[in-house]
A and B are shown apart, each in its own frame.
Chain A
């Protein structure tokens, strides 16, 4: 087995190590501000019909002009966006019904909502390096200022499906922007096992536990079908990979892979042929794990899922690829 796939096979356990302690600490701190359960979203009026689009923050979102096309399509269903895609949505005049956020990082995630505390470019080059929102790569401070204004203006019309693992800075920012927060617990472990953290967390705050599949994009898809009850879901910007030709240094986990593997870091990257666009995409162990998990979960989901990303590495028997316009028109089955 290739090195990248070998690493990917160990990331279920690694993710627990990464997020459990900080996520639980944040859950305790957030306890005092929890007012709504995510289950209340099932009763809310969020677009028409049984179709929904989940907007993730992969590079195809910009490359394929997916948001311009979504707006032009006059789609009337539900729009669910991940936190990292919120800025792009608002800049293109697309206001999501629901924004999903989960990562417990103390400083990074608030930037997706516009960080009022950011006055100078930080030492952390995460936003300059990665591909998720190119606006941040060009001029972080200006992009942040514009985003603050947009989120402040549109906030009262949006709902946030927020995990109890979210950092207090994210909670504070969403509340101050007038968003309504609907809470859920990340499922950390098997709730049937003795001493389960998920069970203890549920006992503490009474909120449902959601199986998030490793990343916020998959979590948004789970919210869309398992909470909102949508039976036809289209995915945008769900690449789980990097555009062909992307330098390794501009990939999300580059510093970590370099530290772990030294000069042999490139061996951890995996190349995947996408037959829909006839391109070979680059991916890393984390994204490859997200893909495997998504395909496994899609087989058990009570919805039809169509990947309208037009790029990336997410495709399989339960996740056919389709053009966005085909999905909006009601088609998409192979």
Chain B
């Protein structure tokens, strides 16, 4: 966003975008880890049928 918007005044506070990004990334990492403990025993793959046996036709 900063590359498109230019202010014609000086800000009195310092905005540290990289720190926010780091925080978001840590939160996402925590969520990912926590959510993985709520997952099931086996994956579900959408729209790939029930059984796949290589080159043989899907059942």
Q: Which A residues fall within an 8 A CB radius of B?
A: 7, 10-20, 39, 102-104, 163, 165, 186-192, 198, 202-203, 206, 208-216, 219, 222, 225-227, 253, 256-257, 259-260, 285-286, 289-290, 293, 296-297, 300-301
Chain B at the A interface: mostly helix, strand, loop or mixed? Answer: loop
Partner of A260, one of B34, B52, B59: B34
Instruction: Decide if B42 touches A256 in the complex (CB within 8 Å).
Output: no
Known A-B contacts A17-B32, A226-B59, A256-B34; the reply to A39 vs B53 at CB < 8 A is yes
Chain A residues with CB under 8 A of B50:
210-211, 222, 225-226, 297, 300-301
Q: Which B residues fall within an 8 A CB radius of A?
A: 32-46, 48-54, 59
Chain A residues with CB under 8 A of B32:
14, 17
Closest 9 CB pairs of A and B: A212-B42, A15-B39, A214-B40, A17-B36, A103-B41, A18-B39, A226-B50, A14-B35, A208-B53
Q: How far is the CB of A127 from chain B (nearest CB, A)?
A: 16
Chain A residues with CB under 8 A of B59:
226
Chain A at the B interface: mostly helix, strand, loop or mixed? Answer: helix
Partner of B40, one of A192, A202, A225, A286: A286
Partner of A189, one of B37, B45, B53, B54: B45
Known A-B contacts A10-B35, A17-B35, A187-B45; the reply to A211 vs B51 at CB < 8 A is yes
Cα-based distance from A253 to B37 in the complex (angstroms)? 8
Partner of A15, one of B33, B43, B54: B43
Partner of A214, one of B41, B48, B52: B41
Instruction: Decide if A211 touches B45 in the complex (CB within 8 Å).
Output: yes
Cα-based distance from A253 to B35 in the complex (angstroms)? 11
Which A residue sits closest to B40, measured CB to CB? A214
Known A-B contacts A39-B53, A226-B59, A256-B34; the reply to A187 vs B48 at CB < 8 A is yes
Cα-based distance from A187 to B45 in the complex (angstroms)? 7
Q: How far is the CB of A249 from chain B (nearest CB, A)?
A: 16
Instruction: Decide if B34 touches A259 in the complex (CB within 8 Å).
Output: yes
Cα-based distance from A11 to B33 in the complex (angstroms)? 12
Instruction: Decide if A286 touches B39 in the complex (CB within 8 Å).
Output: yes
Known A-B contacts A12-B46, A19-B42; the reply to A187 vs B52 at CB < 8 A is yes
Which B residue sits closest to A227, measured CB to CB? B51
Instruction: Decide if A191 touches B48 in the complex (CB within 8 Å).
Output: yes
Cα-based distance from A39 to B53 in the complex (angstroms)? 10
Chain A residues with CB under 8 A of B39:
11, 14-19, 214, 286
Q: How far is the CB of A284 from chain B (nearest CB, A)?
A: 8
Instruction: Decide if B43 touches A212 in the complex (CB within 8 Å).
Output: yes
Cα-based distance from A219 to B38 in the complex (angstroms)? 18
Q: Can you list 18 A-B contacts with CB-CB less than 8 angstroms, sorted by A residue number?
A: A14-B35, A15-B36, A18-B40, A39-B53, A165-B42, A188-B45, A189-B45, A203-B54, A208-B51, A211-B51, A212-B43, A226-B59, A227-B51, A253-B38, A256-B34, A260-B35, A290-B40, A300-B49
Q: How far is the CB of B19 from chain A (nearest CB, A)?
A: 24
Which A residue sits closest to B52, measured CB to CB? A209
Q: Which of A187, A192, A226, A286 counts the most B-chain CB atoms under 10 A from its CB?
A: A187
Instruction: Decide if A214 touches B43 in the complex (CB within 8 Å).
Output: yes
Instruction: Decide if B35 touches A189 in the complex (CB within 8 Å).
Output: no
